Chain A
């Protein structure tokens, strides 16, 4: 049976799925299906259960576990093991009562209010009253012959993190690590600059003489400008070259060569991080509708799509203009969970939600900086407005310890 046949059958035989809503309603709890088990998806699933009493929550992800991008640059340099960033779903399942399903979502069907998944046993439909899509990012690589195996992005943690780690580890003192920074908005604004710093620190200590070239598609440093400007000019002076306005126009992965508007660069290692857009399932559901054609517009009071109020989009895929990060995803997920619970109770959303991001970035193997950004809902523009932004005066060893404490707590707040 192919997917089309399955969907027709599901529609006809919807008694077993979503059809008898009135009948079902008398006895059953409302159902929320969450697609994507990163920081946004895990947090919304957890808080729907924590705050929402008897809501029936199903979390679907193609993987059996999640690898956090948070701290992953220290896995690239070998300072941390992969196990430090591995986050399972067991606590959500056993401690919170979330139904966790490992499968690939192949279709969102808004008319039938169900998502269709495929796994080894075939197709299955999961009906919902509310759907949350939190698939993270997809890449839009430049023209050329691109291979993520030959030139790893390591911008989704997991096997890619290990690939880049292996390539970095194999470099010699005569090598050059070339990396690219995508055009904003992209996942984790400080992340690429943090990577440039910890890679430079690693090379300085382990392969003295090796160089780092950072090719930024943007015209300036996108996060913590004072911290990273000082790190590039002082801490890594003489070994790190930072080039702005270098938009990637082509890539030849086999030659580890990248073509940019600032010239062609070849590295011993090429860490090409392509430009980004909403996850495929958001595109397939027809919900990508911002002016750039890359993200999904949502109501920031609920994170519901502006074109379908029963489908919420969280984290990196949504287009409110808030930074794309694990911390922000967690923050938005709580606003969304609260709004869904209120809706099930026949109430409107909180009219004045806040979100924030507070993150720590390693600048060396012993010192970290921090970034804080705060947002309030602005009723005048119906948008989230940044009300505060700041960064650490300097990276410190206390900051490095706080980074681990922050990671422990945000990992637990999202996944435990």
Chain B
């Protein structure tokens, strides 16, 4: 395993290779993706069961457009109670701060399919 780029550089959002590559290529900015929404990547890890953008295609509950505080509370409860079901285990995989980011990101997604933030 190689050394990761220096944390200090990463915090400034500057993995050296990536910056050089983007500048050298002079690539046009990516439409609509200039700032990655907080929680987007974390929440995408729910989609294997709860559907892309939290809209399930079958069975499991759709999880978008709900109250962020309710969802956060539920996730923390799952994380801390004795592990009975698969969500009790999955919730244990995240810090409370990550669970809050997930809940807040999903809460902002609209509930109607036609309002999907497709790009």
Contacts and interface: CB of A to CB of B under 8 A. Distances in A.
Interface of A: 21-22, 25-30, 46-47, 49-55, 129, 297, 299, 301, 306, 309-310, 327, 330-331, 334-335, 338, 341-356, 358, 370, 372, 374-376, 379, 381-383, 387-390, 392-393, 401-402, 404-406, 408-410, 412-413, 416
A28 B10 CA distance: 27
B31 A348 contact: no
Contact of B52 (A25, A354, A405, A412): A412
B46 to A, nearest CB: 9
Interface string B1-35: 11111010111111101110111111111111110
A406 B15 contact: no
A344 B28 CA distance: 9
Contacts, number: 195
Contact of B26 (A26, A46, A301, A331): A26
Contacts of B23: 346
Interface stretch (B55-63, B66-74, B105-113): B55-63
A383 B47 CA distance: 24
A405 B9 contact: no
B24 to A, nearest CB: 8
A50 B118 contact: yes
Given A331-B48, A343-B21, A53 B30 contact: yes
B25 A379 contact: no
A376 B48 contact: no
Interface of B: 1-5, 7, 9-15, 17-19, 21-34, 36, 40-42, 44-45, 47-52, 56-60, 83-84, 86, 89-90, 92-94, 98, 118-119
A404 B119 contact: no
A106 B22 CA distance: 28
Contact of A405 (B44, B49, B119): B49
A374 B90 contact: yes
B117 to A, nearest CB: 9
A409 B47 contact: yes
Contacts of A331: 45, 48
B44 A334 contact: yes
A211 B15 CA distance: 57
A53 B31 contact: yes
Contact of B13 (A53, A347, A352): A347
B4 A382 contact: yes
Contacts of A356: 45, 90, 93
Task: List the 9 closest pairs (A to B, CB-CB), nearest first.
Answer: A374-B93, A405-B59, A53-B31, A348-B15, A372-B89, A408-B58, A25-B26, A343-B18, A346-B22
A409 B4 contact: no
Given A370-B86, A410-B49, A341 B59 contact: no
A347 B35 CA distance: 10
A335 B40 CA distance: 10
Given A25-B26, A390-B89, A413-B47, A348 B58 contact: no
B28 A348 contact: no
Contact of B48 (A22, A297, A327, A354): A327
Contacts of B19: 346
A388 B30 contact: no
Given A52-B33, A345-B33, 9 more contacts: A21-B25, A22-B26, A51-B33, A345-B22, A354-B45, A354-B98, A372-B89, A388-B89, A408-B58
A297 B1 contact: yes
B30 A406 contact: no
Given A25-B28, A383-B1, A348 B119 contact: no
A306 B4 CA distance: 10
30 contacts: A21-B26, A22-B25, A22-B26, A50-B118, A51-B33, A299-B1, A301-B4, A331-B45, A334-B41, A334-B44, A335-B41, A343-B21, A344-B27, A344-B30, A347-B15, A348-B18, A356-B90, A356-B93, A374-B94, A401-B59, A404-B59, A405-B59, A405-B60, A406-B48, A406-B59, A408-B58, A409-B51, A409-B60, A412-B51, A413-B48
Nearest to B14: A348
Contacts of A388: 89, 92-93
B42 to A, nearest CB: 6
